């Protein structure tokens, strides 16, 4: 049935809403990585969700994947994950997505003070998602690294404005938007 005011069929509108909700799931992951927020990261998976980064890297439960990744992230001086091209296909309460990622990871260099190793990683997440009890989350995530490179740089300045934890000012900022009258 088509809505007379919009000309949009009910199923089409449900798919648009589903894609927006799935997009939010995908974005939460990137925030969880850069803020090293295990709870937020685990929220992108259903309780029985799984992740596969390749047998030689990681394969296991979604929560274990998040903790494993954030243990690594805690060793970094800085990180920035960007999501780009996201293709989402919805079929009722099931969906599949392919999401491109670029991650910039900064670590100390063996040369010591004033030098850093910057690793740029480009890859894709292939996610199977479902809506259970009205909530979209990942059933299974596969990661495919397309390419990466590292370089040692001198003189890199890491900004002081970001807290790489859930104490970052962005949490309070976004919470205020959800509070009426603020």
Q: Which domains does the chain have, with CATH numbers?
A: 10-159 (3.10.450.50)
Write the CB contacts of 80 (distance below 8 Å, at least 6 apart in sequence): 34, 103, 104
- The model carries a pTM of 0.86
Q: Looking at residue 80, what is its pLDDT?
A: 93
Closest of 137, 141, 63, 143 to residue 103, by C-alpha:
143
Closest of 50, 28, 51 to residue 39, by C-alpha:
28
pLDDT in tens, 102-152: 999 999 888 776 789 999 999 999 999 999 999 999 999 999 999 999 999
Q: Looking at residue 86, what is its pLDDT?
A: 96
Q: Looking at residue 106, what is its pLDDT?
A: 94
* Three-point CA angle 95, 15, 52, nearest 5°: 20
DSSP-derived secondary structure for 79-105: EEEEEEEEEEEEETTEEEEEEEEEEEE
Can you list the residues of the chain whose pLDDT is less than 50?
1, 3
């Amino acid at each position: 049935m088509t809505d007379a005011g919009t000309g949009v069929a009910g199923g089409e509108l449900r798919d648009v809403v589903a894609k927006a909700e799935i997009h939010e799931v995908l974005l939460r992951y990137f925030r969880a990585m850069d803020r090293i927020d295990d709870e937020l990261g685990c929220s992108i998976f259903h309780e029985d969700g799984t992740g596969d980064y390749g047998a030689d890297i990681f394969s296991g439960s979604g929560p274990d994947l998040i903790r494993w990744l954030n243990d690594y992230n805690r060793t970094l001086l800085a990180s920035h994950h960007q999501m780009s091209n996201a293709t989402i296909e919805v079929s009722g309460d099931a969906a599949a997505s392919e999401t491109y990622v670029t991650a910039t990871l900064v670590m100390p260099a063996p040369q010591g003070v004033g030098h850093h190793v910057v690793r740029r990683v480009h890859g894709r997440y292939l996610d199977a998602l479902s809506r259970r009890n009205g909530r979209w989350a990942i059933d299974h995530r596969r990661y495919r690294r397309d390419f990466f490179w590292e370089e040692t740089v001198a003189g890199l300045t890491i900004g002081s404005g970001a807290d790489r934890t859930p104490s970052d000012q962005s949490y309070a900022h976004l919470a205020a938007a959800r509070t009426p009258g603020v």
